[in-house]
Every structure is written in C-alpha cells, then in structure tokens.
Structure 1
Amino acid sequence: MSDNGGDFRRGRRETEEERADRRWNDLLQELRVVQTGVQILFGFLLSVVFQPRFTTLSETDQDIYLATVLLGAATTGALIAPVSFHRLLTGHRLKPQTVDWASRLTMVGMFLLLCTMASVLLLILRLVLPDTLALWLVIGMAAWFVLCWLVLPLWMRARHIAELDRPTPGGTRRGDS
C-alpha cells in the first residue's frame, strides 16, 4: 500500500475521492452504452402487445412475453438507479459509497439484461423454430453473454493479478513500487 491509500495493483496514485470521481465517470460512460440498448429493447417490448398477431400467440408465448416485459422493466430500473443514487446523495460526502452501490446495481442490471435478452430470444425463436431447438439456441446465446460479460473479464483480471504477483529476476513482485 502506498501512503495515499492506493493499492499497487491499481497503478495510480490518487486519493479516495479522486478514485471515486474516476470510477463514477467510468461507470457513467458504461451506463450510457447499456442504457441506450435497454431503452430501445424495452420500447420494442412495449409495442409488441399492440400488434394484431399478439392475440394469436399461445398462452405460453403470452406468459413468456409478460415475463420478458417485467424483466425489461426491472432491467431499466436497475440501470437507471445509479442516477437516482447520485442525484439524492450528491453533496453528502458519500461518493465512494455511491459509486460502490451504483456499481452493484449496474451488475444487477447486467444480469437482468441477460435474462431479458434470453427471454426475448426465447419468445422470438419459439415463433419460427421448434421449441427444443429454440431453447438450445437461447441456452447457447446465454452462455455466450456469460462468456463475454463475465468469464472473459474475470479471467483477464485473474491473469493480470497473477502476473503482478510473479517475482521478477530481482526477487520483487512486478506490482511492487
């Protein structure tokens, strides 16, 4: 640990407040990307019920649609919640805690987005493919999302940490200052 509270693995010399500001700005950029897609998806979902073909869907497909809309609404709520946290807590010297909670809510939102995407895919694929094939394709796509959104970033983080902990020829760790 450095004298400013920074961890050698971060590679930055910043105060807790500077780190919270940086993390908040990073999180806002990430949320801008994901919120746009979620809002478009949710808008599409809301319009489906007004299409003439909706009444011809089986009860199962209508149930899947209902679950999908609820998941989409929950996703939207989780991904907009960080804005509310920030707005209500600004000026109360809680930036690090706000960033931590906003980050957690973003991860919940990403999980709900995975569920929403799987549900949308299931609904659409059931209309054009046999049920079993549709289900297997949804499972495959869900696995792809988990790989891209969770497994690869965690693998990269673990690999980076392991490299920092590996001794150099001089006997010190790569991450030591």
Structure 2
Amino acid sequence: MVNEPDPEPQPLRRETPEERADRNLVELLQELRVIQTGVQIVFAFLLGLAFTSRFPELDDFQRDVYIITLLLTVLASAVLATPVAIHRALFHRGFKRRIVRASSRLAVLGLVILAVALNGAVLLVTDVVLGHTAAVGVTAVTSLVFAGLWFLLPWTLRPDRAGDGG
C-alpha cells in the first residue's frame, strides 16, 4: 500500500466566532439528520419484531436483549434529537457557541448509545438464527467495527494527533 501525501493544508477560514458557530451548528444538525434516519429504521424493525409469529418463542435472554435494545434505540433517538430542541429554545438568545458545544457532546453520546443499540439488535438476531455462542462472537466483532470506525478512526485523524497542527 502506497502512502499518499496529505493534500495541501487549507488556508484558515476568515470567519468570526459567530460565523464559525453558525457553520458548525448547520453541519452538526445535518449530520444528526442523517443518523436519525438510521435510528428510525432500527426502531421500526424492533417495533415490528414484537408482532411477528416467532416472537413468543424467544427465550428470557432474547426477550431481555430485545427490551434493552428497544429502550436504547429510544434513548439514542432522544439524545440525538436534543440538539434540535436546544437550538429551537436558545438560538435567538445569543448562545450559539454554547449550543454547538453541548450539541456536539450530545451527538457523541448519541452515537455511543446507538452503537450499543445496534449491537443489541445484532446480538438478538444472531442469537435467534445462530445460537448464543456464535451471537456473542459476531456481536464482539461488530462492536469492534463500531469502536474502530466511529471512535478510534476519527480520534486518530484529529489534527493534534496527526502532528499537522491544522
């Protein structure tokens, strides 16, 4: 694998702190809009699952995983939608930078909860289809994938980690 050089560093934006906060909030809300669709799909899948003919056949472990996963999905949805509620309540009061800071933290928390919920769905489905031992193994792998892609990779790409000062 050939290491390609990083592209030329972009010149610093010439924007006021308020303009930067505006841009950051718009970008964050767009990201949340995209992820919220995924949460809604998982939630719909889980809701529908309870009304299938095989649902009564689930054992206690599977029912527990189902309930926990359902509730985590609801919690992820609530946390990921909270930045919108904060913005609606405070946008006209001059707190944009505070809104962006809090919303960014909520987005990370929401992603953590969503990753756990998605892994709960994987655990439930693979437990029903493949059995408990295989389900634990598959879920461990998907947990590592989420941790790597959603948290470790972005952390390694941070400018203060990459040594480029940007």
Check whether TM > 0.5. yes
Could you tell me how far apart the structure 2 residues matched to 1:29 and 1:153 are? 18
Superposition CA RMSD, Å: 1.7
Residue 91 of structure 2: aligned partner:
90
1:124 aligns with 2:125: yes
Residue 79 of structure 2: aligned partner:
78
Residue 34 of structure 2: aligned partner:
33
Spell out the pairing of 1:8-157 with structure 2 (5 A cutoff): 11-157=12-158
Alpha-carbon distance, 1:64 to partner: 0.6
- Runs of 4+ residues deviating >4 angstroms: 158-161
* CA contact 2:155–2:161 (8 Å) conserved in 1: no
User: What TM-score, normalized to structure 1?
Assistant: 0.84
CA-to-aligned-CA distance 1:21-62 (integer Å, 9 cap, x gap): 010011011111101111111111112111121111101101
Q: Which has the higher Rg, Structure 1 or Structure 2?
A: 1
- What is the percent sequence identity of the aligned residues? 39
Residue 6 of structure 2: aligned partner:
none
Could you tell me how far apart the structure 1 residues matched to 2:160 and 2:104 are? 22
* CA contact 2:72–2:113 (8 Å) conserved in 1: yes
* CA contact 2:156–2:162 (8 Å) conserved in 1: no
- Runs of at least 5 residues in structure 2 that lack an aligned partner in the other structure: 1-9
Residue 7 of structure 2: aligned partner:
none
CA-to-aligned-CA distance 1:105-133 (integer Å, 9 cap, x gap): 11111000100011000000001113112
- Runs of at least 5 residues in structure 1 that lack an aligned partner in the other structure: 1-8, 165-174
Alpha-carbon distance, 1:160 to partner: 6.1
User: What TM-score, normalized to structure 2?
Assistant: 0.89
Could you tell me how far apart the structure 2 residues matched to 1:54 and 1:130 are? 16
Could you tell me how far apart the structure 1 residues matched to 2:162 and 2:143 are? 27
Instruction: Indicate how the Cα distance of structure 1 residues 152 and 10 shifts in structure 2: closer, same or farther if over 3 A, else same.
Output: farther
CA-to-aligned-CA distance 1:78-109 (integer Å, 9 cap, x gap): 11111100111121110110111111111111
What SS does the corresponding residue of 1:14 show, helix, strand or coil? coil
What SS does the corresponding residue of 1:90 show, helix, strand or coil? helix
Alpha-carbon distance, 1:158 to partner: 4.6
Q: Specify the code of the residue in structure 2 equivalent to 1:149.
A: W
